[in-house]
Amino acid sequence: ILTKEQSELALEAMLKNATVPADTNLNGRTGIGDYIKLGYIPSDKYKESVNNSLDAYYCDFCISQVAKMLGRSGIHDEYLLRSRGYTQLFDQKAGFIRGMKADGSREEVFSPIAWGGDYCEGSAWQNGFAVYHDIEQLTQLYGGREQFKEKLDELFGTPPVFEVGTYPCEIHEMTEMSFADFGQCAISNQPSFHIPYLYSAIGYPQKTAYWVRRMINKGFGENFFPGDEDNGSMSAWYIFSFMGFYPLCPGKAEYITGICCGEKVTLYLGNGKVLVLRNGGTANGAVISHERVMAGGDLYI
């Protein structure tokens, strides 16, 4: 646990990262000057502009939460507003978050299965729903809860086909998505990790339960993963999903439930308490606070 002084120093570092261009591309945020000026990272000046923009919006949300914790209301309000800038990238006609040029125009030709360009290691299907901090507003952009559910149904119902797009050839992430065969949800790579849990977030937990269980049973085995491990992220997804709850938005001290895939899962927590997760026989889509998890005891999911 950080002291107040340490938290203030952390906030100072976050604010510098969010406002000051770095000397090299290896540090800081991509296109931060244009992001501050335009409210997004322009696609005609930077590659993977959608991913970089969405990352920036989420980072701004996290800044707002740290500022709120420290009682810095002005910073909180400013960065919470910045975090909602993704709405201008939503293309109502196409039904996707898309790249936008500095003058506000878009490329005329668009394919939701074309990889690269404005997206990183995926297409609009894998990368256009990364608004972890503001699912409610994202839902409204699609016209409401039922319409967003239909979009997710379309995502899972679209065959795992792809166009190589701006990549020079078929990369392994494309191959893995096709082999795993969960529609356009490429659970083999990080951009899709949260997608099955969007159902629970909008009130359809049974659909989350269906896809999570199917992915665990068919995508993972004793000697195989659906994609590369990438510093433990694939294992982390599997463990959380098997237990039955997932950090949909790590910037919030909460988890959303999926379905516990074991009859009983025991966690020995760092505070000395024990949390016992039990399969409640149904998925309820409930939000569980981190405080509740760390309290230990029995939890039915």
Domains, in order of start, for the chain: 1-110 (1.20.1610.10)
Structure tokens at 10: 């952390």
- Interval 106-125: pLDDT, tens: 999 999 999 999 999 999 99
Q: In whole angstroms, give the CA distance from residue 150 to residue 258.
A: 19
- Give the end-to-end CA distance of the chain in Å, rounded to a whole number: 29
> Sorting pLDDT into bands at 50, 70 and 90, what band is 276?
very high
Residue 13 has pLDDT above 90, yes or no: yes
- Interval 49-60: pLDDT, tens: 999 999 999 999
Geometric angle at alpha carbon 256, from 241 and 254, rounded to 5°: 115
Residue-level pLDDT at 24: 84
CA atoms within 13 A on the CB side of 47: 9
- Interval 58-113: pLDDT, tens: 999 999 999 999 999 999 999 999 999 999 999 999 999 999 999 999 999 999 99
Residue-level pLDDT at 210: 95
- By percentage, how much of the chain surpasses pLDDT 70? 99
Residue-level pLDDT at 2: 87
64 forms beta bridges with: none
Strands (E), the chain: 90-91, 96-97, 245-246, 254-257, 264-268, 274-278, 287-289, 297-300
- Interval 158-183: pLDDT, tens: 999 999 999 999 999 999 999 999 99
Residue-level pLDDT at 301: 87
* Residue 89 DSSP code: G
> Sorting pLDDT into bands at 50, 70 and 90, what band is 25?
confident
- Interval 236-247: pLDDT, tens: 999 999 999 999
Residue 23 has pLDDT above 90, yes or no: no
Residue-level pLDDT at 222: 85
Structure tokens at 264: 């009983």
Please list, in sequence order, all residues whose beta carbon lies within 8 angstroms of the beta carbon of residue 247, skipping any fewer than 6 positions away: 240, 254, 255
Residue 284 has pLDDT above 80, yes or no: no
Residues 32-51 have a mean pLDDT of 97
257 forms beta bridges with: 245
